[in-house]
Amino acid sequence: MSTEPAPLSIVEVQRSVFAELDRIAPVIDELGERFVAAGHELALVGGPVRDAMLGRRHNDLDLTTSARPEETERLLKGWADAVWDMGRAFGTIGCRKGEWQVEITTYRSETYDPSSRKPDVDFGDSLVGDLRRRDFTVNAMAVRLPGREIEDPFGGVLDLAHRVLRTPGTPEDSFSDDPLRMMRAARFAAQLGFDVDPAVTAAMTAMADRIEIVSAERVRDELVKLVCAPLPRRGLGILVETGLAERVLPELPALALERDEHHRHKDVYEHTLTVLEQAIDQEHRLESAPDFIVRFASLMHDVGKPRTRRFLEDGTVTFHHHDVVGAKMTRKRMKALRFGNDEIDAVAKLVELHLRFHGYGTGEWTDSAVRRYVRDAGDQLVRLHILTRADCTTRNRRKAERLQRTYDDLEARIAVLAEQEELDALRPDLDGNAIMRILDVPPGRVVGEAYAFLLELRMDLGPQTPEVAEAALRAWWAERSGE
């Protein structure tokens, strides 16, 4: 599991930022001289400054300037390899120079109308004023160019060394200007391992309802960044504790089912966060990490439990069909957050299948059952392996080892059958053209039914010769025609 980052000293912060400024000097020094010569101010700002102090390198640079967008665009032409202006309405001109992507934004301020989902953008007239409008002090630092003087009017360096998130002004004013900053607090806590200042937490709790004016797309994007961060459990806990999760992902706090001395069962909320962390530990099995699909499926896999919980007379608790119910709830939530259909289908499939492994007892898997497992998982098979293994959070070491051995056996069976039968492309032994020729029928519903019959035959018996498959098809057709 991910570990907490070590604390920083001011000396380490200074050393890191100066080393990073030297690395990106070919861009920032030339641009700084270019803007100053034209009578404008220019500064590296925000995330790149923060990350430089943390020793984190990247080639996407954010700068701010006193120049208006049209002047910025003029200064970049002839210097940059490419220039674009998609962000012109927000004062931003972008460009590429070699391996660096650069965005330069005119000093500005953003405020929200209480009933609006979009910020109003006004140009500002000073660097300090631009920094004051930013979300947190660790993002409200700048490096003036080309002289490289650090501008830190709100104590961001100290907060960064102490790993704490505070706002430049009052958190109430900051969150009134842009309510999405409340979610950013949780996201940065998850990304950077920072604590949230108590005053910020209090404002988030008091103002959680304000998040409802923010568009679903912006909320979704912050949630994805949080879930894909190194420490998502920390950020998700903040969303739940402040009440923000009730507004953006209510299925998560609902997992904290009430318990009493007569009806003992696992804490589903804590179990879910543990499953998430255990899934992250297995992401090395995927081609790329972090993987949002497997992480969000881990987060949502038990959301059907609150709706399906039943108490039996002997005091035990059941959650029958919570996998199917949870998959429907997952689809509904992801649609509300404006996720794409492919992502929705992938996550919902994993939620629906996460119990499939446990339906086969202690490993008495027939070849037919293995084929169906692979077919139903489809292109989510590796993620299903990860989720199923991560879902074992029992403290009973012997039980946990037994489950892992059983799943090892299943994966080995899949590998053997895959090599023998090309499981990744399971198809009937006869295609549609052969079905129409043998049965002498035109394209239509009958062909689909015959295809489904042959696919089930393939699942049960494995690959068959065309002759055996044809005989089975004719027998099926004769029985069906005689009904």
- Domain identity same for 440 and 386: no
CA Rg, the chain, in Å? Answer: 28
- Domain identity same for 189 and 272: no
Nearest to 354 by CA among 334, 332, 333, 373: 373
- Domain identity same for 230 and 322: no
pLDDT score of 454: 84
- Domain identity same for 192 and 233: yes
- Domain identity same for 81 and 134: yes
Tokens of 93: 């001109």
Last residue of a domain, one of 116, 141, 162: 162
- Domain identity same for 187 and 68: no
Last residue of a domain, one of 162, 190, 210: 162
- Domain identity same for 193 and 338: no
pLDDT score of 202: 98
The number of domains in the chain is 4
- Domain identity same for 31 and 86: yes
- Which strands form 142-145's sheet, in the order they lie side by side? 82-84, 92-97, 100-106, 60-65, 42-45, 142-145, 149-151
pLDDT score of 366: 79
Nearest to 457 by CA among 443, 470, 446: 470
User: What angle is formed at CA 118 by the lines to CA 244 and CA 187, rounded to 5 degrees?
Assistant: 35
- Domain identity same for 403 and 443: no
- Domain identity same for 406 and 443: no
User: What angle is formed at CA 358 by the lines to CA 418 and CA 314, rounded to 5 degrees?
Assistant: 175
CATH number at residue 128: 3.30.460.10
Nearest to 351 by CA among 473, 241, 251: 251
Residue 50 lies in domain: 1-162
Tokens of 183: 């979610």
Last residue of a domain, one of 249, 282, 303: 249
- Domain identity same for 276 and 354: yes
Tens of pLDDT along the chain (483 residues) come to 556 666 677 788 888 888 999 999 999 999 999 999 999 999 999 999 999 998 888 889 999 999 999 999 999 999 999 999 988 988 999 999 999 999 999 998 655 566 655 556 678 889 999 999 899 999 999 999 999 999 999 999 999 999 999 999 999 999 998 999 999 999 999 999 999 999 999 999 999 999 999 999 999 999 999 999 999 999 999 999 999 999 999 999 999 865 544 444 558 999 999 999 999 999 999 988 899 999 999 999 999 998 988 888 877 888 889 999 999 999 999 999 999 999 999 999 999 999 988 766 565 677 788 888 888 898 899 999 999 999 988 888 888 888 888 888 888 888 877 766 565 556 777 888 888 888 888 888 888 888 888 888 877 787 788 888 888 888 888 888 765
Nearest to 13 by CA among 161, 165, 163: 161
CATH number at residue 214: 1.10.110.30
Side chain identity at residue 377, one-letter code: A
CA dist 348 and 345 (Å) reads 5
Beta bridge partners of 171: none
- Domain identity same for 237 and 263: no
Is the torsion defined by CA of 393, 395, 401, 402 positive or negative? negative
Question: 146 preceded by cis ω (within 30°)?
Answer: yes
Nearest to 420 by CA among 377, 462, 374: 462
